[in-house]
Structure 1
Amino acid sequence: MRKSEPRIVIRRKRVVAANKHGGSWKIAYADFMTAMMAFFLVMWLLSLVPQKDLQAIAEYFRMPLMTAITGGMKNDSGSSVIPSGSPSVIPNPNPIPSRGDVHTEGDLRDVRRLEDLKAELEELIQTDPVLQQFRPQLLLDMTPDGLRVQIIDKQNRPMFATGSAQVQPYMRDILRELGPVFNKLPNSLTVAGHTDSIQYATGEREYSNWELSADRANAARKELVAGGMDEPKIKQILGLAASVSLVKDNPAAAVNRRISIVVLNQRAERRIDEQNAAGASNANLKDLLEPGPALDLPGLPVLPGLMLPGTLGGQ
């Protein structure tokens, strides 16, 4: 029998190509990190932008793209989110201001000056030995009309004598320290007096919180002028009684008794001047200044310039 030849077995290893991972995940991860960095950068920048500029940015993104590109419809005073469009179901809390309210470059510079004044006052309150001890009673904030400085009352440290407009000595010191500071800007001021809700025994018929708040605002004006502030800087003196409470849940609280001084921005000054001009234009001054017909009453001599009771006088 023939001896069988040895069997030769050839094993060929099958090479399986490995799955190609590629770098697509790296690109996705890099895009994600870039987006996160951009997001936090935008949030940080928005935290530095003033509130008024944020409103302007919001109005820009409310405008349709084609309208913004063509430069039209930038002056819509309606409440619609879409400029010059139909009313939107989404309320617009900050509509685009009308042409008379648009911020000019001068207005923006004025706002920056008031912000600088606010920073200067805050530093003065921290460093001045007179104002430093009254720091808890001084509130500073920016309002649409300008920089507001509020001097609030405390239970154990009232600014005025109870029920009167007599200025306490430390209140006098505060106002006389602030007077020269307000002279550094050309802006005008308004001074408003506020009271709590506690009424006089006579109620509102005679001397009431309305008269008291107005008298206290005028007393604060006198102390500002005595401290060195130019008297023509005062634009308005207001007595608001308890109509604008600082603590609405407790209108009888001591902090509601306060003096509010607003350093007006240019827009607020223009608005007040326009209101005064409108009131003057509505009055027919020519008819008011012309003397009326002389009254020929029996037994009474008619003297030149004599005005009988009931006629128009300057009392």
Structure 2
Amino acid sequence: MDTNQPIIVKRVKKIAAGRHGGAWKIAFADFAVAMMAFFLVMWLMSSATPEQKKAISGYFQDPIGFSESASPYVIDLGGTPTPAPDRTLNPELNEEITPGEQPLNALQAEQLFEQAERERLDILLVELQRKINDDFDLQPYKEQILMDISRDGLRIQIADAANRPMFDLGSARLQPYFEDILFIMADTIRDVPNKISVGGHTDAKRFASDSGFGNWELSANRANAARRALHAGGLGDDKIARVAGYASSIPYDPADPDSPSNRRIDILVLTKRALDGIEGEQGDNKGASETASAAISNAAATTPTKPMRDKLNVFEKGVLQFEDVDG
């Protein structure tokens, strides 16, 4: 018994399946953070404006002094900063220009203004379309709202449908759905500086009665009713440049003068050129009236000679007429 070897029992611990160290968690966390930073940078780059991208590019090209593409103030890192370019003020356009750049002339400035105005009208058109599409109650009336950009501005036409008129028959009383459309228009148009023109149109059907009230009066009354609804929706009276009734003189469907689409209200968001034309017409009328009044006053204040008194007649409407007594 003393010669027997001792019996050694070895116990091996078996690791259960799926159990291992935790080093992978650190690596995965680093990867997740890196991916989050990557997608954040991609999102920022996609939402950055061209000016911001130019500034970022300028910084990486010259981190010490990227004054040409961004701020002229640099952080002193011990290097030699790039000097900021000399900038002067253009007194005509009230904006800074760098030396060597030619200031814009009047024609170029006008073209830039018209381009910016067109872009503003494009944005307004998209915003109006979005609001109409998002309003569930206005979905049945989308086909009656026609919008396009013309030379005079953004034109919004709201036309009758065969079974959905905007007004009561032969009157200027608005239907509730038409008021809702006008409220949306007013809430959006008031955010732009442009003035508007409101016009009323009818079809070619005549009134049965001989009271003297016809399509001209009806179209003007409906245009004014639309103006009042726009005012109730928040559009100030100072934004209204003109309200006019056109009867059936400008049909939407010339092939069918009695078509319901000819009964419509058009709202024109005026460009500056179109507004100047309207104000010019009003100014010309005012100037003509003042000229006629001045002529009458001068004629009354002047004592003409005997032959001239025989030739000169001053009429009530301010028209001076000369008669040649000798033929």
- Give the TM-score normalised by the residue count of structure 1: 0.57
Cα-to-partner distance string for 1:129-180 (whole Å, 9 max, x where unaligned): 2333321110001111100001110111110000000111111111112111
Percent same amino acid among aligned pairs? 38
Counterpart of 1:163, as a letter, is G
Higher radius of gyration, 1 or 2: 2
Q: Mark the runs of 5 or more structure 2 residues left unpaired by the alignment.
A: 1-105, 301-315, 318-327
User: Residue 206 of structure 1: which of 212, 226, 232 is its match?
Assistant: 212
In the alignment, the residues of structure 2 paired with residue 260 and residue 289 of structure 1 have an alpha-carbon distance, to the nearest angstrom, of 41
Residue 245, structure 1, aligned to residue 251, structure 2: yes
Counterpart of 1:194, as a letter, is H
Task: Name 2:282's counterpart in structure 1.
Answer: 276
Counterpart of 1:122, as a letter, is Q
Task: Name 1:227's counterpart in structure 2.
Answer: 233
Counterpart of 2:200, as a letter, is G
Task: Name 1:193's counterpart in structure 2.
Answer: 200
User: Residue 268 of structure 2: which of 262, 269, 272 is its match?
Assistant: 262
Would you say the 8 A contact 1:124–1:131 is kept in 2? Answer: no
Residue 104, structure 1, aligned to residue 116, structure 2: no
Distance 1:282 1:156, change over 3 A: same
In the alignment, the residues of structure 1 paired with residue 171 and residue 187 of structure 2 have an alpha-carbon distance, to the nearest angstrom, of 26
Would you say the 8 A contact 1:114–1:146 is kept in 2? Answer: yes
In the alignment, the residues of structure 2 paired with residue 253 and residue 133 of structure 1 have an alpha-carbon distance, to the nearest angstrom, of 20
In the alignment, the residues of structure 2 paired with residue 275 and residue 164 of structure 1 have an alpha-carbon distance, to the nearest angstrom, of 30
In the alignment, the residues of structure 1 paired with residue 290 and residue 144 of structure 2 have an alpha-carbon distance, to the nearest angstrom, of 47
**Is the partner of 1:192 in helix, strand or coil?**
strand
Cα-to-partner distance string for 1:43-87 (whole Å, 9 max, x where unaligned): xxxxxxxxxxxxxxxxxxxxxxxxxxxxxxxxxxxxxxxxxxxxx
Q: Matched residue pairs, number? A: 197
Task: Name 2:159's counterpart in structure 1.
Answer: 152
Would you say the 8 A contact 2:138–2:177 is kept in 1? Answer: no
Q: RMSD over aligned Cα, in angstroms?
A: 2.8
Cα-to-partner distance string for 1:225-268 (whole Å, 9 max, x where unaligned): 00111111111111011111111111101111110000001110
Q: Mark the runs of 5 or more structure 1 residues left unpaired by the alignment.
A: 1-98, 294-310
**Is the partner of 1:284 in helix, strand or coil?**
helix
Cα-to-partner distance string for 1:202-232 (whole Å, 9 max, x where unaligned): 46x7100000000000000000000111111
Task: Name 2:63's counterpart in structure 1.
Answer: none
Would you say the 8 A contact 2:131–2:184 is kept in 1? Answer: no
Deviation >4 Å, runs of 4+:
285-290
Counterpart of 2:188, as a letter, is V
Task: Name 1:170's counterpart in structure 2.
Answer: 177
| Higher RCO, Cα 8 Å, sep 6+ | 1
User: Residue 128 of structure 1: which of 135, 156, 167 is its match?
Assistant: 135
Task: Name 2:51's counterpart in structure 1.
Answer: none
Name the stretch that deviates more: 276-285 or 184-193.
Answer: 276-285
In the alignment, the residues of structure 2 paired with residue 274 and residue 170 of structure 1 have an alpha-carbon distance, to the nearest angstrom, of 36
Task: Name 1:28's counterpart in structure 2.
Answer: none
- Give the TM-score normalised by the residue count of structure 2: 0.55
In the alignment, the residues of structure 1 paired with residue 131 and residue 163 of structure 2 have an alpha-carbon distance, to the nearest angstrom, of 24
In the alignment, the residues of structure 1 paired with residue 193 and residue 137 of structure 2 have an alpha-carbon distance, to the nearest angstrom, of 25
